[in-house]
Amino acid sequence: MKPVSISDYRALARRRLPPFLFEYIDGGSYDETTLARNLADLRAVTLGQRVLCDVSQIDLSSELLGQRQPLPIALGPIGLAGMNARRGEVQAARAAEAAGVPFCLSTVSACSIAEVRAGVEKPFWFQLYMIRDRAFMRDLLDQAQAAGCTHLVFTVDMPVPGTRYRDYRSGLAGAGGMAGALRRAAQAMIRPGWAYDVGLRGGPHSLGNVAPILGPRSGLEDFFAWMRDNFDPGVTWKDLAWVRERWTGPLILKGVLDPRDAVAAADLGADAIVVSNHGGRQLDGVVSTASALPQVARAVAGRLTVLADGGVRSGLDVARMLALGADGVLLGRAWAYALAARGEAGVRHVIDLIGTEMKVAMALTGSTRLSDLRHAISPSD
């Protein structure tokens, strides 16, 4: 199948990846109610079609946090993304660099900060969780700044990991030891392309950034155990001030749904927030990003940059997020599916698709600049 949409890339990723990896990317927490809401509520946003407007020149460029770029998007952080393709985070970072958009590396990536930095010409963003071991956090921040990482995306909606049934059913979670390893190996064998390219040639299979503290226990079997044991459920706004003091570049807080938290982030001195429910992977049953975004954006209008993620599967969805009040959009599953299906070429294609589809959406709403989309919501909504 020749992919022409992000949905096509999802289908190809399902065919290529071992089930335990596909279910990890694709799934949400508990009954996945919020995951479904993210998709449905964004698709329900009604744009107003306009006619007889001069849309011969459409400008998709934007300035996000001091960076001029051709599209108002960034590749958001995804844990274990490097297992989707051989040294996958390096491939994705190269695709983002070629497109002129930011790439954000996850704390729990397969490839380390140093490896990704060696694979690209320009610095990237780094994502961090609040970890009990503050010395280790300081070390990660030092590594990121030494590598020239320009922006810190601090994820604040994960004091404890959400319960994801799919990961238990697939054997990625709750299946340690030899039995778990054999179960995952059996799933890899039914995906020979992945088994050869990633399983055999794509090592080391470890959590590159946390390997120094995990040591020999840095493989997949310790992924969830490490998160459960090391994430800090006692984190407060005072702890975030600790991060603000130690990070000299732009600070982005990811995981905000409540306007009061958005205001607190602005008061703290954050440069941006990401309106997000972690892709429906944390507290199931909370509101979708599309539902929360307008009120949050109004609460901090002019005080900081508002980014959003959750349910974006097309350039039309990016346009909808901008119409709802976002200044920019983080792509998540969209680029992970593409990476799994076709590696760097797939990620480049998805970024191109986003741009092409955005131009169509803007032309049909009579918008020639991104700011015009703020007036593109249908009056009936």
Nearest to 76 by CA among 289, 265, 237, 267: 289
Rounded to 5 degrees, what are φ and ψ at 333?
Answer: -55, -30
278 is catalytic: yes
Q: Which of 151, 278, 349, 375 is catalytic?
A: 278
Pairing of strands 328-331, 305-308: parallel
Active-site residue set: 278
